[in-house]
Amino acid sequence: MAAVTPLLLLLLLSSAPSFSSGSRNAYNINGRVKIPQGLGTKGYALPGRMSNVKVLLNGGQNITFLRPDGYFSFHNIPAGTHLIEVSAIGYFFSPVRVDVSARNPGKVQAALTENRKGLSELVLEPLREEQYYEIREPFSIMSLLKSPMGLMVGFMLAVAFLMPKLVENMDPEEMRRAQEEMRSQGVPSLSSLLPGGARN
Amino acid sequence: MAIRSFFLFILFFSSSLSPVFSLYEDQVGLMDWHQQYIGKVKQAVFSSQRAGRKRVVVSTEENVIASLDLRHGEIFWRHLLGADDVIDGIDIGLGKYVITLSSGGSILRSWNLPDGQMVWESSLQGPKHSKSFLLVPTNLKFDKDNVLVVFSNGRLHAISCIDGEVLWKKDFEAESFEVQQVILPPGSDLIHVVGFAALSQFEMYQINAKNGELLKHESASFSSGFSGQVSLVSTETVVALDSTGSILLTISFQDGKISSQQTPISNLVEDSLGPAVIIPSSVSGIFAIKTDAVPIFIRVIGKGNLEVVEKTTHEIAVSDALSISEDQQAFALIQHASSEIHLTVKLAHDWDGNLLKESVKMDRQRGLVHKVFINNYIRTDRSYGFRVLIVMEDHSLLLLQQGEIVWSREDGLASIIDVTTSELPVERDGVSVAKVEHNLFEWLKGHMLKLKGTLMLASPEDMAAIQSMRLKSSEKSKMTRDHNGFRKLLIVLTRAGKLFALHTGDGRIVWSYLLRSLHKSEACQSPIGLNLYQWQVPHHHAMDENPSVLVVSRCGPSSDTSGVLSFVDTYTGKELSSLSLDHAVVQVIPLPYTDSTEQRLHLLIDADKHAHLYPKTSGALSIFKREFSNIYWYSVEDQNGIIKGHALKCKCTGEVADEFCFDTRDLWSVVFPSESEKTIATVTRKLNEVVHTQAKVVADQDVMYKYISRNLLFVATVAPKGSGEIGSVTPEESWLVAYLIDTVTGLILHRVTHHGSQGPVHAVFSENWVVYHYFNLRAHRYEMSVIEIYDQSRADNKDVWKLVLGKHNLTSPISLFSRPEVITKSQSYFFTHSLKAIAVTSTAKGITSKQLLLGTIGDQVLALDKRFLDPRRTVNPTQLEKEEGIIPLTESLPIIPQSYVTHALRVEGLRGIITVPAKLESTTLVFAHGVDLFFTQLAPSRTYDSLTEDFSYALLLITIVALVAAIFVTWRLSERKELQEKWR
């Protein structure tokens, strides 16, 4: 869809004063949005459809769309400092500050506002791709073990198998004393708690 | 139970900090729904492509251009143009390009019909403003290139259809020339431009279509002048009305000679009274006029003889003409009968013969037919069939074919004015149809599938089955109240004056009601809906009553026209009553009191500054009198830059005794100097916002008290020069001032100036803080600032005893002269995007932390944690502050793609974001509306009080089974060990 020609990018940043009503001169801002191939092909969907990209001037005062080759233009813009934003689902574009000079027509300066990088030509490229969804981790034993239930089972197993080991390592004298203490106190053993254990 | 609480505990603490709202791709559609609309259709063009899917291209009043599937009414593609980029005309060129003319005829664009890609764009200038016309001649060629003819801004252009190049242009610079029609007679290379000059002059220009050369210019003067539009009855005849609207002028310009004939309307119709207007149509030989709301069809015979063919008393709508063969034109006519509409398709030259006559049952809630578009197709028996697209009063779009409604689109929902919510009925016996899982086998199968899904063993078909099972879940779309408060009704008022109730579960329309009080009537010429209020929310008493909403509207665009109130039951969608007021409605103040039937008291302020109390019952009056001295409100006068505070004074001192009318008095006023400040935004707290605690414990066991007052107003003013758009001022001559004003005393609590900044300002006020978004001209970036306001008078109350016995601000007198001891903290950050709307999440008890919802310029909604806008952020927070959750200060606010609430969707033309608390404390419901609608549930601190949707019950079961098994195993082991002990 709308292959971006990897040709030499012409400097299309002209701002020849065009005819307009009134005495005030009005200019055109021409530029290009370039979404590198390869970006957008991975991930969940192919959002790189050029037809859904919008270019907005000064917070929505003017809105324009891209031609198949990615070029766009704003007509009849007064001299001054403007802000161009690109809205494209799946990509993050930095807004661009564009100075249209009245004193020497034809001179336009542009800079990305996010990183203050100057642009020699008005070619807008996404700073990064935007991934709107969390990626589901593939099934793994570790994730199962890390889940609360996994931790519980793990803890229980640890108790079941490590505790007897601990008990074995104990001093036999001490253990006997402890056991006798337990019996005398009549602490119900695990077996008596279970319905099967009660019968025995 | 213990296990469950243990899980909750773990879930609560395992909630990580970074993107709180995040979604897996397969969770799309579980909690949220998205609906796409286009708005009221202005113009429709049918694509005549033989092959492929049938399409219709439409332009709408929302500035949308869209290609719809003619079979089902779905959107193939759609583009929303800018707010000032109003579409003047659309057409299809060469069968594959959609041509649009917009912005008062100054932008011409061509779109690829199959996929909506823009092909070219041309800017057309001209010497002066004029009507604009877009014509796509089928036979006019210019070097093998098809040509478009555009008349705009007083200039005629011929434009190449392939690349948008202007081939030639011709100016019509005569000062007073007003173009009325541009005509392309078929089979010739001529263009006729006709219009009026100097009020009484009829002008005709004949132009060579090949090169724009002026061939002939004729004019004739009519002493009686002209009024309104002209109707084209043939390529060489137009019909106009004189300035009194009582004489028809038939003007023909055959072979460049202007001849005319005058026919008084009274000659044609005996009992015509008022002035007539011409109904625009393009049917050859016939035109329509309307006198006293009665449409009359008149046929032109020969050279200017007129004959009335039909005079109807019904409301009618006529389509444009459709050429069905070389010399035959058909058009559609729709007439209303009580609950039906009658569609007739007639041939232009034969009024009495009907090609088609059908009656279609029509829902009364759709109102009148506003527009008709006709299209034909060839049936299998080679005869002509017709289908018509109709636009109704409620802005819906319907396709009629063979006496049936094939599809309909509720495009009124593209222009929502106001939104409120209503609870659903409580579940009672017989009320709900709870669907239990059919049988155990199905239930097991479902869970086996889910288990397979979690273990990543499922095949693609299984995955699809799981997904559809989750989406279909009948639980969320039931028509009863649920325990968590997720199911509600969204009541929306649209610009067409229709109320819709949307179910939050799946977004379906539960009922819709075209407000009768918003119909045009003699008393009420152009009624417009203003606001929706919750009128009656039964919960304690009056449980048997249905909840109802109040719709406030008024009879005209200016604020001093009289108002209309309607009360609509939200369960049934029926209008309970409506009131035509004898006073205007300038301001509506919902009071925090309800009467014995849970009707909320509302105070309506009229243009003469009288306050009127509603409902007009004695019970309400007695409640109101009790609170008489506690009622304050403010008003903002944008033009003069004045904010005034008001209170009630006494009963109205008019001739007519009205005990529900009260005089008011001005308490205070804040006047902004008009040469340096202009108010652009005012924001208050939401009335129904709940604050959990006033105290805020900061890092070192210290307590800060939030200054929580319902009467705080945030005002932003800018330099008058800087109130325009970005780029119109230099940073030196622009500033923005933010105020916090107490609306009872008029005291300015805080004032801060941002030099070199300008609007637009979007702000949101919640609890004790306000966040606002504006443009910083020096950095040339958007900025967001936060102001938090704290109560210092209670700052000493550090422990419980002091809190109980210590100083309160409750007893301090409320006066302009006693300044409350408050401190404010503020901080600013850069933000990348422009904003269209801003809102804040709201929860039932206000415990859950807050998120800001930012409607960005790309029509997405971004959730941003309030902690990023905390004035206590520092570059290097101390260990204690880090524990408290303070994020190190950064220059700009982060944009985390996973925290887009709208994920990969766009809410095209976003206008507003509404948040409603659910009953479950962790969750808030978010509704974003524009041309599209989007609804979702948000949990700003994760769902700590319930299990999440993706909670695996299977894993829980396995764990329990494993635990039980382990218990048995260990019991056996211990038993054996005991035996061995005993044998020893």
The backbone region for B408, taken as left when phi is positive above 0, alpha when psi lies in -120 to 50, beta otherwise, is beta
Q: How far is B982 from chain A (nearest CA, A)?
A: 13
The residue of chain A nearest to residue B20, with distances taken between CA atoms, is: A134
Contact between B936 and B31 under an 8 Å Cβ cutoff? The reply is: yes
Q: Which residues in chain B have Cβ-Cβ distances shorter than 8 Å to A51?
A: 77, 112, 115-118
Give the model's confidence band at B935: pLDDT under 50 very low, under 70 low, under 90 confident, else very high.
Answer: very high
Rg of chain B on CA atoms, in Å: 34
Give the residue among B209, B117, B101 at the shortest CA–CA distance from B158.
Answer: B209
**pLDDT tens profile B634-693:** 999 888 889 999 988 888 776 666 788 888 889 899 999 888 888 889 999 888 888 888
Tell me the DSSP string of B427-494.
P-TTT------S-HHHHHHHHHHHHHHHTT---HHHHHHHHHHHHH-GGGG-SS--TTS--EEEEEEE
**pLDDT tens profile A54-100:** 899 888 888 999 888 888 888 888 888 888 999 888 888 899 988 88
Q: Which residues contact B542 (CB under 8 A, 6 or more apart)?
A: B536, B596, B597, B598
Positive or negative: CA dihedral A198, B3, B6, B10: positive
Whole-angstrom Cα distance, residue B518 to residue B527?
5
Q: Which residue has the higher pLDDT, B536 or A181?
A: B536
Give the residue among B256, B137, B123, B239 at the shortest CA–CA distance from B181.
Answer: B239
Which pLDDT belongs to residue A14?
A: 39
Give the residue among B415, B410, B434, B542 at the shortest CA–CA distance from B482.
Answer: B434
Which pLDDT belongs to residue B964?
A: 92
Give the residue among B534, B532, B528 at the shortest CA–CA distance from B499.
Answer: B532
Share above pLDDT 90 across residues of chain B, in percent, rounded to a whole number: 21
Measured distance between the N- and C-terminal CA atoms of chain B, rounded to whole angstroms: 42
Contact between B647 and B665 under an 8 Å Cβ cutoff? The reply is: yes
Return contacts of A38-44, CB within 8 angstroms, 24+ apart: A39/A91, A39/A126, A39/A129, A40/A90, A40/A91, A40/A129, A43/A90, A43/A129, A43/A131, A44/A131, A44/A132, A44/A133, A44/B25, A44/B904
Q: Which two tokens stand for residue B918?
A: 């659910």
Contact between B575 and B594 under an 8 Å Cβ cutoff? The reply is: no
Please say if the pLDDT value at position B762 is more than 60: yes
**pLDDT tens profile B864-899:** 999 899 998 888 888 888 888 888 999 889 998 888
Considering only CB atoms, B959 lies closest to which of A45, A113, A153, namely A153
Give the residue among B477, B322, B502 at the shortest CA–CA distance from B412.
Answer: B502
Contact between B27 and B949 under an 8 Å Cβ cutoff? The reply is: yes
Q: In degrees to the nearest 10, what's the CA dihedral of B657, B658, B659, B660?
A: -170
Most B CBs within 10 A among A1, A92, A94, A133, hence the mutation to make, goes to: A133
CATH fold for domain A27-129: Immunoglobulin-like (2.60.40)
Give the model's confidence band at B434: pLDDT under 50 very low, under 70 low, under 90 confident, else very high.
Answer: very low
Rg of chain A on CA atoms, in Å: 35
Least confident of B19-23, B741-745, B826-830, B911-915: B19-23
Q: Which two tokens stand for residue B812?
A: 């301090």
Q: Given the structure tokens 């001192």, which residue do they identify?
A: B653
Size of interface A-B (CB pairs under 8 A): 189
Contact between B640 and B654 under an 8 Å Cβ cutoff? The reply is: no
Give the residue among B726, B253, B375 at the shortest CA–CA distance from A77.
Answer: B726
Tell me how far the alpha carbon of residue B238 is from its chain's centroid: 40
Q: Mean of the pLDDT values across residues B593-615?
A: 87
Q: Which of A35-49, B102-116, B172-186, B278-292 has the highest mean pLDDT?
A: B102-116
**pLDDT tens profile B32-67:** 899 999 999 999 998 877 666 788 999 999 999 999
The three-state secondary structure class of B198 is: coil
Give the residue among A32, A33, A34, A25 at the shortest CA–CA distance from A100.
Answer: A25
Distances (CA, A) of B516 to B39, B420, B496, B528, B581: 21, 20, 11, 12, 15
Give the model's confidence band at A109: pLDDT under 50 very low, under 70 low, under 90 confident, else very high.
Answer: confident
Whole-angstrom Cα distance, residue B928 to residue B502?
13
Contact between B867 and B885 under an 8 Å Cβ cutoff? The reply is: yes
- Neighbouring CB atoms inside 10 A of B670's CB total 19
Q: How far is B8 from chain A (nearest CA, A)?
A: 10
Which pLDDT belongs to residue A47?
A: 44
Which pLDDT belongs to residue B954?
A: 74
Q: Which residue has the higher pLDDT, A105 or B735?
A: B735
Q: Which residues contact A126 (CB under 8 A, 6 or more apart)?
A: A35, A36, A39, A86, A88, A91, A92, A93
Whole-angstrom Cα distance, residue B397 to residue B39?
9
Q: How far is A148 from chain B (nearest CA, A)?
A: 7
Q: Which residues contact B572 (CB under 8 A, 6 or more apart)?
A: B511, B546
Q: Which residues in chain A have Cβ-Cβ distances shorter than 8 Å to B775?
A: 59, 83
Give the residue among B411, B426, B618, B441 at the shortest CA–CA distance from B512.
Answer: B411
The residue of chain B nearest to residue A140, with distances taken between CA atoms, is: B455
Q: Which of B281-295, B429-443, B576-590, B805-819 has the highest mean pLDDT?
A: B576-590
Q: What is the mean pLDDT of chain B?
A: 83
Contact between B729 and B818 under an 8 Å Cβ cutoff? The reply is: no
Q: Mean of the pLDDT values across residues B442-449?
A: 75
Q: Where are the domains of chain B?
A: 175-313, 315-401, 681-806+817-831, 951-979
Least confident of B70-74, B246-250, B449-453, B710-714: B449-453
Give the model's confidence band at B746: pLDDT under 50 very low, under 70 low, under 90 confident, else very high.
Answer: confident
Most B CBs within 10 A among A75, A76, A82, A189, hence the mutation to make, goes to: A75
Q: Mean of the pLDDT values across residues B275-303?
A: 79
Please say if the pLDDT value at position A29 is more than 50: yes
Give the model's confidence band at B853: pLDDT under 50 very low, under 70 low, under 90 confident, else very high.
Answer: very high
The three-state secondary structure class of B179 is: strand
Which pLDDT belongs to residue A33?
A: 87
Give the model's confidence band at B797: pLDDT under 50 very low, under 70 low, under 90 confident, else very high.
Answer: low
Which pLDDT belongs to residue B17?
A: 41
Considering only CB atoms, A65 lies closest to which of B10, B79, B126, namely B79
Q: Where are the domains of chain A?
A: 27-129, 141-184
Q: Which residues in chain B have Cβ-Cβ distances shorter than 8 Å to A59?
A: 725-726, 760, 775, 834, 857
Q: How far is A159 from chain B (nearest CA, A)?
A: 10
Q: Which amino acid is at B537?
A: V
Please say if the pLDDT value at position B70 is more than 60: yes
Contact between B68 and B41 under an 8 Å Cβ cutoff? The reply is: no
Which pLDDT belongs to residue B840?
A: 94
Q: Which two tokens stand for residue B776?
A: 């910083």
Please say if the pLDDT value at position A48 is more than 70: no
According to DSSP, residue A141 is labeled: H
Whole-angstrom Cα distance, residue B605 to residue B588?
6
Which pLDDT belongs to residue B448?
A: 78
Q: Which residues in chain A have Cβ-Cβ distances shorter than 8 Å to B963?
A: 152-153, 156
Q: Which residues in chain B have Cβ-Cβ distances shorter than 8 Å to A63?
A: 80-82, 85
Q: How far is B499 from chain A (nearest CA, A)?
A: 30
**pLDDT tens profile B485-537:** 888 899 999 998 899 999 998 888 999 998 877 777 666 777 888 889 988 88
Whole-angstrom Cα distance, residue B920 to residue B845?
9
Give the model's confidence band at B20: pLDDT under 50 very low, under 70 low, under 90 confident, else very high.
Answer: low
Asked if A188 has any chain B CB less than 8 Å from its own CB, the reply is no
Whole-angstrom Cα distance, residue B652 to residue A192?
84
Q: How far is B866 from chain A (nearest CA, A)?
A: 20
- Neighbouring CB atoms inside 10 A of A5's CB total 11
Give the model's confidence band at B788: pLDDT under 50 very low, under 70 low, under 90 confident, else very high.
Answer: very high
Q: Mean of the pLDDT values across residues B369-385?
A: 85
CATH fold for domain B175-313: Methylamine Dehydrogenase; Chain H (2.130.10)
Give the model's confidence band at B349: pLDDT under 50 very low, under 70 low, under 90 confident, else very high.
Answer: confident
Contact between B839 and B865 under an 8 Å Cβ cutoff? The reply is: no
Distances (CA, A) of B576 to B526, B548, B911: 23, 9, 30
Please say if the pLDDT value at position B962 is more than 70: yes
The residue of chain A nearest to residue B128, with distances taken between CA atoms, is: A21
Q: Mean of the pLDDT values across residues B147-172?
A: 87
Whole-angstrom Cα distance, residue B245 to residue B265?
9
Give the model's confidence band at B407: pLDDT under 50 very low, under 70 low, under 90 confident, else very high.
Answer: very high
Please say if the pLDDT value at position A18 is more than 60: no
Hey, which bits of B504-618 come out as E strands?
509-514, 528-536, 548-554, 562-569, 575-584, 587-594, 600-605, 610-614
Q: Which residue has the higher pLDDT, B6 or A119?
A: A119
Q: Which residue has the higher pLDDT, B523 or B730?
A: B730
Contact between B331 and B348 under an 8 Å Cβ cutoff? The reply is: yes
Angle at A92 between CA A86 and CA A96, to 5 degrees: 45
Considering only CB atoms, A59 lies closest to which of B79, B726, B860, namely B726
Whole-angstrom Cα distance, residue B698 to residue B575?
52
